[in-house]
Structure 1
Amino acid sequence: MKQFISAVILFAAIIGCNSNTQPGAKADTDAAFQKLANDYLDGYFAARPLYAVSLGFHEGYDGKVPDYSKAALDAELSRLKGFDSQLNSIDTTGLSNQNFMDFRILRNAIKSEILNIEDEHIYTHNPMTYAGAIDVNTYVKRDFAPLEERLKYIISTERVIPALFAAAKTNLEDSLPKPFIETAIQIAEGNAGFLKGDLLTALKDVKNDTLIAVFKKVNDTAIKAYDNFVQWLTKEKLPKATNHYAIGKENYKKMLLYSEGITMEPEQILAIGMQELKKEQAEFNAAAKIINPNKKPVDVYHDLQNDHPTADSLIPVVKEHLESIRQFLIDHKICSIPSEVRVGVKETPQYARATSTASMDVAGPFEKKATESYYYVTPVNASWNAKQKEDWLHQFDYYTTDNVTIHEAYPGHYMQGLHLNASNATKIEKIFGSYAYVEGWAHYCEKMMVDEGFGGTDSVTAAKHRLAMSGDALLRICRLCNSVKIHCQGATIEEGTKFFMDNWYQGEKPSYQESLRGSFDPGYLFYTVGKLEIQKLRKDYQQQEGSNFSLQKFHDAMMDNGMPPVIMLREILLKDKSKWNEIL
């Protein structure tokens, strides 16, 4: 008999006890929790005003920036612990099912924040926290207010950048992990480049000369602050850099628990990853054999990768294919589409290119006016040598590019965003999201679309799409394995690079970047973990529904209930409570 791996969300042991509480007491407990949640959110956004703006909350937050002084950070940690304690005091048996769901989402979000500060030391150990703290592009890309008004917000935001880096120099430890320093330098240089280039272009139509004069002075000061931070990291921190970037097994287990409710040992996760790697490589080989049975599968894959757009045509090709992929969703009843608004395709902003190949920037769920969303694709860096440029473009062969679009846009992240924004999900559900749900859904969509016939009926063309999809699946499985190896088993970035090259079959440049990301993003294992969870949930739901199963209905339900850990979606979709914890 197949053994299921169980997981528990914090406080899951008391699921099902709520019904014993009297209605009046339940209403009182619900009201107390909702007040506590609202009080928490008020402080949460006060400490993170830029995030509030990105969600669509403008009043009281536009032009505001976080305070990174040690006193402010200490106060925020104390506040988090205080709310964690208050949540502990709530009798959850008195909560409605919906509020109990929100309770667990909020509780885990708070515990994750505490983990980030106390155990992962994001403010004392990681200069990337400061290099990427300010994003004035929010005020450029979405026209929620007249441009001159948004320029005033940019000015007030940029004014504090020197203080931000002064706080960074005070807060950061003497010796820092080398990959964190190097990536922080790239991010800071990208931000400075954005202020020098794209930002000036975006503001060229402002006619208020007085305001522009103020902006130029503040902007020049901000650019110097970024440049000085880069010099400080280069001269003061790189010579003393360490390779101590692993969070350790105990913190890794906390991350699994608070993010997704997983109680498995990291070694068990790694074993699943290695098993999936072997399985996916077999599917990879089978697809390659259909394309050309006379070549080695890796050589077939490399031939496929050679069929890619040029550096100049990459963005136009993505735009051209986007609409046909959207139409496939309609024709094959993959999911409902809540809006006719199309996503815009743009180059990744300069400041984000160090950590992104492609990404989706969906308008916040509370945004009322500026509802534009952007699908970003990272172009070739002009400073790379010829081999590095070719390695980068190998990731964007025509078939893989379609797969990336499925992941980022249709029916991946953009569709997630449209459903979330249009849904009746609660405020808590729209603010806090599970890494495994968000990325697992987009990754799940890649295989699902190919299985549903995307790629055509011609066997060779279909196999090329499947091979590209499988190649990306190998990437995500390698991320899972690399995450555990680096953070729990002492593997180095260089060892991870070789692991990616050997098992993902890409060149050194992208393989190094993927391994490097694992040093500061241990959660990138959740791409594969989330995909596997969703596949398991779909199988269980289909067995439950029998002949009434509808793929579109399942997919809509997956996207219309917020962004919770997948184990909570099992509670919503599955009637048999005994199956709720059988996540993998």
Structure 2
Amino acid sequence: MQKMTRRDSILTMVSALAAGSTVARTKAQTMPGPVEAQATAPLYQAAQPSASDQAFEKFVDEYFDGFFQFNPARATSAGIHKYDGELPAYSQTDIQNEIARNQRALRELARIPSDGLSQNNLLDATVLASLINGRLLDLADIRMWAKDPGFYNAQAATALYTLVERDFAPLDDRLKSLIVRERRVPEILNNARANVVGPPAVYTRVAIEQAQAQLDFLQNVLPHAVAGAESPALKTEFEKVNQNAVSAYQQFLKYLQTGLTLQSQGNFALGAEIFRKKLLYDEMVDIPVKDLLKIGYKEMRRVQSLFKQAANIIDPTKTPLQVLQSIKQTAPAADQVIGNTQTVLDSLRQFLLSHEIVTVPAAPIPQVMGSPPFMRGLTFASMDTPGPFEDHSIQSFFYVTLPNPAWDEERKQQLLRFFNPFSTRVVAIHEVYPGHYVQFLWLKQAPTKARKLGSTMNGMSTSVEGWAHYCEEMMLEEGYGEGDPNLLLVQLQAALMRVCRYLAGIQLHTQGMTIEQASNLFQQEAYMETANAEREAMRGTFDPTYLAYTLGKLEIMKLREDYKKKLGDNFNLKAFHDQFLSYGIVPVKLVREQILQDRTPVL
């Protein structure tokens, strides 16, 4: 067993990451000593900051200032509203400047002596070095800005949506910022035309769907979201700016459907080496592809076996797919959805307390509400939590989308079947208790600014989606649902979908798997309908690390089992969960090193 040391140079770490040295990267990710989990206090006692600490904290301030200038919607989501009235046009000059800024940041980080850093700052420096390298990989090597027209739609759409998503300021103030951002939309779409050349056909296909949805958002949803503004002048200005954005999207959509579609001959696959680097930088996982696939197929066989056993218990006369379909046919009445969902959340929260699953830090209890009108076309159910720096709008909402009374009965029932009692519980575990919402509460009290903001960058999904997916399985293991095989079957189908993401993501980008083959994988192994399977397969082409759900779950499960072996009878599940969450959102690898004090494999 390789023990850990304290003296790891950030200079060595950054140089190694930049040079692509796997060995040096592994050394640089080593972190000192374990911590005791605390739900309401910092991980470490405050001490007089050293010169290194002061330099690093200045670096964090400056780095995220530049990051949020390039990604202002992420600042808005984080509860930092200094950038609400900003939005770049994402020209090639803007993008090249962002690449250069990240290159400078790595050099600056390398100059900070690691010996003088506090334990928290050393951990944060390790994470930031990896994430900044991930940013450079995305912008300079993968270059989605040059091959995915949807990149530009995403920037424009999130910039507007985050300003109306929650009431963090008076509507008139938010409308002022929205007008400034929306003025940029035509320029952003023009830059998409200039920058994107020869994209993969699937990217153009998805971008067309996204542009159509955004056009509907601008025409029918956004005006409703700002209708309550008081200033007539602001409303008039918004109508003008919004119409310009609508016209720009109409022209952009026509361009996608005609000109760009004919040019869409590109390859979406990253290739094995870029895929390896992305997984390393984003998740700090450096496992050979062939070994990752073995792990994934082993997990799929395990879950498949459990799925078939559960289906056989429910009805041995039907196939597993028939059993699953019959379970999901149960639909509540529309006026029961909110009450049923609130009851589920209450039962989950009580289960966490009575079974000592995890500490839930004090905070307003999430309120179940019908999705606001401007969100109804975007989601079935969603968790809306304030950012870690949000001080004004601190209520969390679990939104459920109710059917439009004007719909025909079949369309209403199709939506309501999503809220069958079993799927509702699995989704609530993942999104609320003890999944994303509880993790958010712990993130709010993270000890450093860097820890709170690191999750605004791409990466560390194994710690976020991995945790939420782990919770689905863990809660049933601990007795939630009292062994109901119907609930288990629905949870296992969700697990099969995630393990198919794992396998598809790897094989689409490193093994020559086609979209059709990936779709077949989801249909045959996860019992998904054709349309949903195709959508999942397409997602894998532009979200290569959506393996993070299963990968993170497996990492956490192995950490838990290894910690059990180490502590023996002294192991306590609640203490383990509290300790895991106390680190904030950082790669599971680093949490593992902290808790176990060794460098044993993550899987």
Partner in structure 1 of residue 267 of structure 2: 244
- Asked whether the 8 Å contact 2:89–2:184 carries over to 1, the reply is no
- Asked whether the 8 Å contact 1:190–1:350 carries over to 2, the reply is no
Partner in structure 2 of residue 128 of structure 1: 150
CA-CA distance at 1:391 after TM superposition: 8.1
- AA paired with 2:359? S
Secondary structure of 2:280's aligned partner: helix
Change (3 A) 1:111 1:582: same
CA-CA distance at 1:335 after TM superposition: 1.6
Equivalents in 2 of 1:349, 1:208: separation in Å? 22
Equivalents in 2 of 1:142, 1:228: separation in Å? 30
- Asked whether the 8 Å contact 1:131–1:185 carries over to 2, the reply is no
Secondary structure of 1:170's aligned partner: helix
Partner in structure 2 of residue 573 of structure 1: 595
CA-CA distance at 1:325 after TM superposition: 2.2
| Superimposed CA distance per residue, residues 337-383 of structure 1 (whole angstroms, 9 cap, x where no aligned partner) | 221331444449878967x6654332100011112334355778999
Number of aligned residue pairs: 562
CA-CA distance at 1:242 after TM superposition: 2.4
Instruction: Choose from 149, 159, 171 the match for 2:183.
Output: 159
Instruction: Choose from 44, 55, 68 the match for 2:90.
Output: 68
CA-CA distance at 1:32 after TM superposition: 2.5
CA-CA distance at 1:127 after TM superposition: 1.0
Alignment of 1:464 with 2:479, yes or no, is no
- Asked whether the 8 Å contact 1:346–1:374 carries over to 2, the reply is no
Partner in structure 1 of residue 221 of structure 2: 198
Partner in structure 2 of residue 479 of structure 1: 501
Partner in structure 1 of residue 465 of structure 2: 439
Matches for 1:169-318 after TM superposition, within 5 Å: 169-173=193-197, 175-242=198-265, 244-309=267-332, 317-318=340-341
Partner in structure 2 of residue 526 of structure 1: 548
Change (3 A) 1:182 1:76: same
- AA paired with 1:581? T
Partner in structure 2 of residue 21 of structure 1: none
CA-CA distance at 1:297 after TM superposition: 2.5
- Asked whether the 8 Å contact 1:318–1:401 carries over to 2, the reply is yes
Matches for 1:3-152 after TM superposition, within 5 Å: 10=25, 12-13=27-28, 15=30, 27-59=50-82, 61-134=83-156, 135=158, 136-152=160-176
Secondary structure of 1:375's aligned partner: strand
Change (3 A) 1:140 1:401: same
Unpaired runs of 5+ residues, structure 2, are: 1-21, 34-46
- Asked whether the 8 Å contact 1:425–1:560 carries over to 2, the reply is no
CA-CA distance at 1:568 after TM superposition: 0.9
Equivalents in 1 of 2:372, 2:136: separation in Å? 31
CA-CA distance at 1:254 after TM superposition: 0.4
Partner in structure 1 of residue 602 of structure 2: 583
Equivalents in 2 of 1:49, 1:348: separation in Å? 23
Change (3 A) 1:518 1:14: closer
- Asked whether the 8 Å contact 1:343–1:414 carries over to 2, the reply is no
CA-CA distance at 1:318 after TM superposition: 3.6
Secondary structure of 1:246's aligned partner: coil
Instruction: Choose from 501, 517, 530 the match for 2:539.
Output: 517
Equivalents in 2 of 1:324, 1:535: separation in Å? 24
Change (3 A) 1:224 1:374: farther
RMSD over aligned CA atoms reads: 3.0
Instruction: Choose from 553, 566, 582 the match for 2:575.
Output: 553
Secondary structure of 1:10's aligned partner: helix
Matches for 1:338-487 after TM superposition, within 5 Å: 338=361, 339-347=363-371, 358-376=381-399, 397-421=420-444, 423-433=445-455, 434-456=460-482, 462-487=484-509
Change (3 A) 1:275 1:513: same
Equivalents in 1 of 2:279, 2:340: separation in Å? 38
Alignment of 1:494 with 2:516, yes or no, is yes
- Asked whether the 8 Å contact 1:187–1:352 carries over to 2, the reply is no
Equivalents in 1 of 2:252, 2:221: separation in Å? 21
- Amino-acid identity (%): 36
- Asked whether the 8 Å contact 2:30–2:593 carries over to 1, the reply is no
Change (3 A) 1:367 1:90: same
| Superimposed CA distance per residue, residues 46-66 of structure 1 (whole angstroms, 9 cap, x where no aligned partner) | 22222111111113x121112
CA-CA distance at 1:244 after TM superposition: 1.2
Secondary structure of 1:340's aligned partner: coil
Equivalents in 1 of 2:531, 2:412: separation in Å? 9
- Asked whether the 8 Å contact 2:509–2:541 carries over to 1, the reply is yes
- Asked whether the 8 Å contact 2:500–2:522 carries over to 1, the reply is yes
Change (3 A) 1:227 1:29: same
| Superimposed CA distance per residue, residues 489-533 of structure 1 (whole angstroms, 9 cap, x where no aligned partner) | 111111111110000012101111111111111111010000001
Change (3 A) 1:430 1:468: same
- AA paired with 2:73? L
CA-CA distance at 1:230 after TM superposition: 1.2
TM-score (norm 1): 0.89
- Asked whether the 8 Å contact 1:567–1:581 carries over to 2, the reply is no
Change (3 A) 1:394 1:277: farther
- AA paired with 2:272? K
- Asked whether the 8 Å contact 1:8–1:581 carries over to 2, the reply is no
Equivalents in 2 of 1:67, 1:211: separation in Å? 23
Equivalents in 1 of 2:412, 2:142: separation in Å? 34
- AA paired with 2:137? L
- Asked whether the 8 Å contact 1:14–1:93 carries over to 2, the reply is no
Equivalents in 2 of 1:208, 1:26: separation in Å? 48
- Asked whether the 8 Å contact 1:193–1:350 carries over to 2, the reply is no
CA-CA distance at 1:160 after TM superposition: 1.0
Worse overlay, 101-110 or 313-322? 313-322
CA-CA distance at 1:100 after TM superposition: 1.4
Secondary structure of 2:146's aligned partner: coil
Secondary structure of 1:341's aligned partner: coil
CA-CA distance at 1:481 after TM superposition: 0.4
Change (3 A) 1:560 1:13: closer
Equivalents in 1 of 2:477, 2:359: separation in Å? 18
Secondary structure of 1:133's aligned partner: helix
CA-CA distance at 1:394 after TM superposition: 6.5
TM-score (norm 2): 0.86
Change (3 A) 1:343 1:185: farther
- Asked whether the 8 Å contact 1:8–1:263 carries over to 2, the reply is no
